[in-house]
Amino acid sequence: MRNALAIARKEFRGYFTSPIAYATIGLFALIFGLMFVAFLRFFMEQSLRAGAGGQMGMGGPQTVNVNQMLIRPLLLQASVVVLFVLPLLSMRTFAEEKRSGTMELLLTSPLRDWEIILGKFFGAAGLYALMLAVTMLSVVWLFIYGNPEWRQVLAGYLGLLLLGSSFLSLGMFISNLTQNQIVACFITFAVLLLLLLLNWVAEFAGPTMREVLTTLSITEHFDDFAKGVIDTRHLVYYASFIFFGLFLTSRSLDADRWRG
């Protein structure tokens, strides 16, 4: 585990040696902020119209509204943005080490494969967590000027973290298939988009098929988190997804080794 941490630390720092970390954090915070402002304005208009004469702004009784009409759609939108941003974090994990030959250092050091994989995963997930933490600054506003349900906010962020970590685990596997970061980025992006499309396909599918597709769909499981519900089924789903992604990574690492 100490080895995994050493790698995680190296990965995390590595993001900051290139503009990647600043670019992704900045981009994500910016988009999140813009969405936040848009939803906030929409929400204010709605509540002004609804609360005619009564309370202005976000009063206590409107707690449910803040959560349902502002936070939930905001987090759902954010989950889509995450899909666009995370391939930028996962793309370099293995592709870059293979290209530069440093994979040879890792693979000839007294490390187990899972230490390398977990280290890289935690490094990337750490940066992603930081990215999410920055967006919390806008959410803090809501707490200053209103009274939203903090459990829901936390559940939503937990959901985002799990969702993104699933993306990362898959992205790491794809990054291990190529020596080219950009290729890894595009393939990861395409695969994630396909996963997202499963949702839309489900809309038009028959009942059984819809059931299957929505169970598989990676974003479907996020909705409950956005609502503020932490359901074990969803936790298990994401945990399995992450495990599966890391497992594929470890298989492909081993396959590379045999191929030479």
Q: Contact positions toward another protein, by CB under 8 A? A: 2-3, 6-7, 10, 14, 17-18, 100-112, 257-260
Counted residue by residue, the chain has a size of 260
Distance in Å, CB of 123 to another protein, minimum: 12
Residue whose CB is less far from another protein, 58 or 88: 88
Distance in Å, CB of 134 to another protein, minimum: 23
Distance in Å, CB of 250 to another protein, minimum: 15
Residue whose CB is less far from another protein, 53 or 110: 110
- What whole-number distance in Å separates Cα of residue 190 and Cα of residue 184? 10
- Which residues have C-beta within 8 Å of that of residue 61, sequence separation ≥ 6? 55
Distance in Å, CB of 106 to another protein, minimum: 7
Per-residue tokens: 136: 């919390």
Inter-residue contact 172 to 117 (CB < 8 Å)? yes
Write the single-letter amino acid at 254.
Answer: D
CB atoms inside a 10 Å sphere around CB 40 = 19
Distance in Å, CB of 202 to another protein, minimum: 42
Could you write out the DSSP letters of every residue in 132-200? HHHHHHHHHHHHHHS---HHHHHHHHHHHHHHHHHHHHHHHHHHTT-S-HHHHHHHHHHHHHHHHHHHH
Write the single-letter amino acid at 54.
Answer: G
Residue whose CB is less far from another protein, 151 or 251: 251
CB atoms inside a 10 Å sphere around CB 99 = 14
Residue whose CB is less far from another protein, 31 or 107: 107
Residue whose CB is less far from another protein, 3 or 199: 3
Residue whose CB is less far from another protein, 2 or 49: 2
Distance in Å, CB of 178 to another protein, minimum: 19
